[in-house]
């Protein structure tokens, strides 16, 4: 009896693997469907078809999450590398038609996008007029997701990812000028700020008055309720309604790393964007925000 492997359509197999890669990078079938401009049911159907083709499940369900089957890791790495090479080669072809728009997906913290990168877009357009950045908010994610290049605090473990430290992001304690300790403070939710919660509660002497999901929401709450809060210096420093509160011991800086897939190392467009991002991050303040506020009267009390 013949036990030969059934004939596989490699075009269909590659498409199913591409969808599987999107689910892995996005973290869910729903988000992958949005990124691929299709439906969740289509994504689910292709994952099921791949399971039948390979004879194993691409994902393992654990505590409500879909985790990549470790046996799939090497195959998916190969697909990701192939995708990157295809993107790079397409970029080379487009270089021959310089008027054609070229998209680059950039993932970063919302505050980095709004206060550092977008204000410097003129410089990028001067060097690469037809590049079209697509900015994607990334807060809790570690890997690339669907971005071509991403700014992260923590480097991903494993994978064929190249990393480059490009600078620091400084955070400091700000409040309205009339604020004193005991008048309340705002915090990001535990998802983002749990590692700092104990030290901040100890200094403020109480739990936060409220928790929010972004620095933009924190700024709005600080204005509306007269609260203190920890903000990126690029956000809090220019705010005319806030002053920096020195001596709290809550100010900190965190390393920012730029990551991209190794298959894109020779991509001229991506190299241009990487150099531009690193240049902008290197210009951001990483020292005490006091130097940014020399013109402001530091009237806040740092102790009750």
Walking along the chain (304 residues) 10 residues at a time, the average pLDDT comes out as: 58 85 82 84 89 88 77 84 75 62 89 94 82 86 82 80 90 95 93 91 95 95 96 94 94 92 85 92 68 38 33
Copy the structure tokens of residue 288: 């005490």
pLDDT the model gives residue 91 = 67
Q: Distance between CA atoms of 176 and 180, rounded to whole angstroms?
A: 9
> What is the DSSP code string of 64-120?
TEEEEPGGGHHHHHHHHHHHHHHHHHHHHHHHTSTTS-EEEEEEE-HHHIIIIIGGG
- For the chain, what are the domain ranges? 10-75
Alpha carbons within 13 angstroms on the beta-carbon side of residue 269 total 27
Cut 0.85: pTM above it: no
* Topology of the domain covering 10-75: Arc Repressor Mutant, subunit A (1.10.10)
Mind listing the pLDDT tens digit for each residue in 269-280? 888 899 999 999
CB count in 10 Å sphere of residue 243:
23
pLDDT the model gives residue 221 = 96
**Please, are residues 253 and 171 in contact by the beta-carbon 8 Å criterion?**
yes
Q: Are strands 228-232 and 161-175 parallel, antiparallel or unpaired?
A: antiparallel
Mind listing the pLDDT tens digit for each residue in 173-206? 999 999 999 899 999 999 888 899 999 999 999 9
């Amino acid at each position: 009896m013949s036990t030969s492997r059934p004939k596989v359509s490699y075009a269909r197999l590659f498409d199913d693997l591409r969808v599987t890669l999107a689910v892995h990078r996005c973290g869910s079938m729903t988000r992958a469907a949005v990124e691929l401009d299709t439906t969740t049911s289509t994504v689910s159907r292709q994952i099921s078809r791949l399971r039948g083709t390979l004879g194993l499940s691409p994902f393992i369900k654990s505590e409500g999450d879909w985790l990549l089957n470790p046996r799939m890791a090497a195959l998916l790495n190969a697909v990701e590398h192939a995708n990157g090479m295809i993107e790079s080669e397409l970029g080379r072809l487009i270089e021959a038609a310089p008027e054609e728009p070229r998209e680059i997906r950039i993932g970063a913290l919302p505050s980095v996008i709004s206060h550092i990168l977008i204000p410097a877009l003129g410089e990028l357009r001067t060097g690469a007029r037809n590049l079209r950045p697509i900015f994607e908010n990334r807060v809790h994610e570690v890997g690339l997701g669907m971005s071509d290049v991403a700014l992260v605090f923590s480097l991903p473990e494993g994978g064929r990812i190249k990393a480059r430290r490009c600078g620091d992001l400084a955070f400091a304690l700000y409040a309205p000028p009339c604020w004193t300790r005991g008048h309340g403070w705002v915090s990001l939710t535990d998802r983002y700020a749990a590692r700092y919660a104990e030290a901040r509660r100890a200094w403020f002497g109480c739990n936060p008055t409220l928790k929010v999901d972004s620095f933009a929401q924190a700024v709005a709450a600080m204005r509306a309720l007269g609260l203190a809060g920890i903000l990126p210096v690029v956000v809090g420093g220019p705010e005319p309604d806030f002053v920096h509160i020195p001596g709290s011991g809550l100010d900190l800086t965190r390393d920012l790393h730029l990551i991209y897939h190794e298959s894109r190392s020779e991509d001229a467009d991506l190299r241009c964007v990487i150099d531009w991002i690193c240049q902008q991050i290197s210009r951001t303040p990483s020292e005490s925000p006091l130097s940014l506020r020399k013109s402001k009267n530091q009237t806040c009390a740092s102790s009750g």
